[in-house]
């Protein structure tokens, strides 16, 4: 099992290297990277490749931006199985709800400790 | 007092002086190599103000007030205040006007606004209009980040060519009062107003490259109109081309067989210790050339370290909207020639 930590480190790091090189070599902004990587993750998830990467690297693949795209697509797939066509609309955000809610909560917590309006 | 048209874009003045100048800077600017030349250095970026925008306004007000106090001209005798900043609707300049209550001409030329104000002010005085004009410009690092690179909390990586908007303000009191004569002062000799130059550069993280052609155009036309060359100046200070921009400007001159290297310097490059202060390309912002001139260059002229300087403030005239719509970055540079009397 400890091997997954090594793979998380390697795969997660490689994804960041690719993002860094994209930022350095092309006239793109971090916002472009954000959209590009989520979309790439969704596509790779959709064709079944990203799931294999997550199985090997765990958080090393699920935490980076591409992992978010993968989560959205996986969620849609599962929701379609149980809810039918409606799942196309509800599945993505349901699967990502944990991450989104955590971002809002931690944002709120940080705003209580620090001065948010300057 | 008189104004003479030397060419299509250059006007020469007689007996127009800078009576006083003042520069105010933030903590990072205070730690830089020019720290000692500032009249006032803030201990923090906010200095107890409620927001970065309010802080920028007070930077400007402080520089304006210091310049007026140093000149011993009463505020009521300031016939016109000219200048600008980088915020939408010129918020700092206009809100400062609410405090000082003098006739106000808010100008926008991005980071080139200080020389636009200085040249326009001198021209207005020489034309027999106002007697005393206060030319000023300000920028605040965090307010500019919010204006151009929101959300700042994202804290994205800065490209090596990216400039660091200075938290600084500079103000000069320009006067044509004939009562002030004799040696020892600094005169505004002439101004060359720039035209918009756009070579198609699209990277907002590399404004030095976008603005260098504008600086080159204005300097060349200044030399043409005045019949001068770079040897007539102790130093040419461009405003905010930074490390890469100055290199490009120098290369443009070199291509035309001109060797400008030795007498070429840049306000943005001079303001910070480039290798130690993590500012990448150097300083930028409307307050950068305004404060470097009003603090450092003006004092060096007074101390007789320099006899004649050409200040060429450069501005990138894009907006976040035009950039997002894929437009290139038009640039402008206005040059003002100043001389110690």
> Does position A36 have pLDDT exceeding 80, yes or no?
yes
Look-up: residue for tokens 């011993």?
B72
**What φ, ψ does residue B273 adopt, rounded to 5°?**
-80, 100
What is the SS3 assignment for A33? helix
> Is B157's CB within 8 Å of A23's CB?
yes
Give the residue from chain B lying closest to A117, CA to CA. Answer: B51
- The rounded distance, in Å, linking the Cα atoms of B124 and B105 is 12
For A102, left (φ over 0), alpha (ψ -120 to 50), or beta? alpha
Phi, psi of B174 (to 5 degrees): -100, 135
Write the residue in A30, A117, A118 that is nearest to B154 by C-beta. A30
How far from B190 is each of B307, B333, B337, CA to CA, in Å? 15, 14, 5
Label the pairing between strands B17-25 and B186-192. Answer: antiparallel
Q: Do B52 and A118 touch (CB under 8 A)?
A: yes
> For B196, which DSSP code?
-
Looking at residue B182, its pLDDT comes to 60
Q: What percent of chain B has pLDDT over 70?
A: 98
Residue B178 is predicted with a pLDDT of: 64
Instruction: Report the distance separating Cα A118 and Cα B49, nearest Å.
Output: 9
**Among A27, A30, A118, whose Cβ lies nearest the Cβ of B156?**
A30
> How far apart, in whole angstroms, are the C-alpha atoms of residue B283 and residue B265?
13
Give the DSSP letter string of B314-334: EEE---HHHHHTT----EEEE
Element (H, E) at A63: none
Inter-chain CB proximity B203 and A27 less than 8 Å: yes
The CA distance from B76 to the nearest CA of chain A, in Å, is: 34
Owner of token pair 């200070």: B237
Distance from the A12 Cα atom to the nearest Cα atom in chain B, whole angstroms? 19
* Mean pLDDT in residue range A10-15: 97
The dihedral formed by the CA atoms of A66, A67, A70 and A75, expressed in degrees to the nearest 10: -150
Q: Quote the radius of gyration of chain A (alpha carbons, Å).
A: 16
Contact B86, B286 (CB under 8 A): yes
Cβ of A118 within 8 Å of Cβ of B156? The answer is no
Structural contact between residues B274 and B243, judged by C-beta atoms closer than 8 angstroms:
yes
ipTM given for this complex? 0.76
Amino acid B180: pLDDT: 59
Task: Flag residues of chain B having pLDDT under 50.
Answer: none
CA A62, CA B71: separation in Å to the nearest integer?
Answer: 64
Cα–Cα distance for residue pair B132/B175, rounded to 1 Å: 5
| Average model confidence (pLDDT) across chain A | 94
Among the partner-chain residues A23, A27, A30, the one whose CB lies closest to the CB of B202 is A27
CA angle in degrees (0–180, nearest 5) for A52-A54-A58: 145
pLDDT at B159: 84
The pLDDT assigned to B108 comes to 98
What pTM was computed for the model?
0.92
pLDDT in tens, A41-84: 999 999 999 999 999 999 999 999 999 999 999 999 999 999 99
B121-141 pLDDT, tens digit each: 999 999 999 999 999 999 999
DSSP B197: B
């Amino acid at each position: 099992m400890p091997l997954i930590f090594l793979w998380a480190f390697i795969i997660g790091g490689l994804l960041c290297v690719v993002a860094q090189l994209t930022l350095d070599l092309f006239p793109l902004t971090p916002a472009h990277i954000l959209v590009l990587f989520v979309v790439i993750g969704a596509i790779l998830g959709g064709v079944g490749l990203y799931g294999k990467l997550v199985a090997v690297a765990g958080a090393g693949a699920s935490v980076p931006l591409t992992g978010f795209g993968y989560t959205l697509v996986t969620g849609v797939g599962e929701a379609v199985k149980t809810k039918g066509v409606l799942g196309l609309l509800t599945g993505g955000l349901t699967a990502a709800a944990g991450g989104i809610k955590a971002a809002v909560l931690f944002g709120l917590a940080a705003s209580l400790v620090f001065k948010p309006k300057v | 007092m008189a104004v003479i048209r030397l060419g299509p874009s250059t006007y020469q003045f007689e007996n127009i002086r800078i009576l006083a100048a003042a520069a105010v800077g933030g903590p990072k600017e205070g730690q830089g190599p020019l720290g000692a030349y500032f009249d006032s250095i803030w201990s923090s970026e906010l200095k107890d103000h409620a927001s970065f925008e309010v802080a920028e306004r007070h930077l400007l007000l402080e520089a304006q007030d210091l310049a007026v106090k140093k000149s011993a001209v009463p505020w009521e005798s300031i016939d016109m205040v000219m200048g600008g900043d980088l915020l939408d609707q010129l918020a700092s300049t206009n809100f400062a006007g609410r405090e000082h209550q003098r006739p106000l001409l808010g100008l926008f030329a991005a980071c080139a606004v200080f020389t636009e104000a200085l040249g326009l002010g001198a021209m207005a005085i020489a034309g027999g209009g106002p007697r005393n004009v206060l030319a000023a410009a300000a920028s605040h690092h965090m307010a500019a980040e919010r204006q151009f690179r929101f959300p700042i909390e994202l804290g994205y990586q800065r490209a090596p060519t990216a400039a660091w908007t200075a938290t600084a303000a500079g103000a000069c009191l320009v006067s044509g009062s004939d009562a002030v004569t004799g040696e020892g002062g600094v005169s505004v000799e002439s101004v060359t107003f720039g035209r918009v130059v756009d070579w198609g550069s699209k990277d907002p993280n590399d404004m030095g490259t976008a603005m260098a052609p504008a600086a080159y155009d204005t300097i060349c036309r200044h030399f043409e109109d005045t019949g001068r060359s770079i040897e007539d100046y102790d130093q040419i200070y461009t405003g905010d081309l930074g490390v890469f921009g100055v290199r490009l400007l120098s290369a443009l001159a070199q291509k035309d067989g001109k060797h400008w290297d030795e007498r070429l310097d840049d306000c943005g490059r001079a303001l910070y210790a480039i290798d130690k202060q993590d500012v990448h390309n150097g300083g930028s912002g409307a307050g950068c050339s305004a404060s470097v001139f009003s603090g450092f260059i003006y004092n060096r002229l007074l101390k007789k370290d320099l006899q004649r300087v050409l200040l060429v403030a450069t501005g990138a005239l894009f907006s976040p909207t035009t950039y997002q719509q894929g437009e290139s970055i038009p640039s402008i540079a206005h040059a003002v020639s100043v001389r110690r009397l």
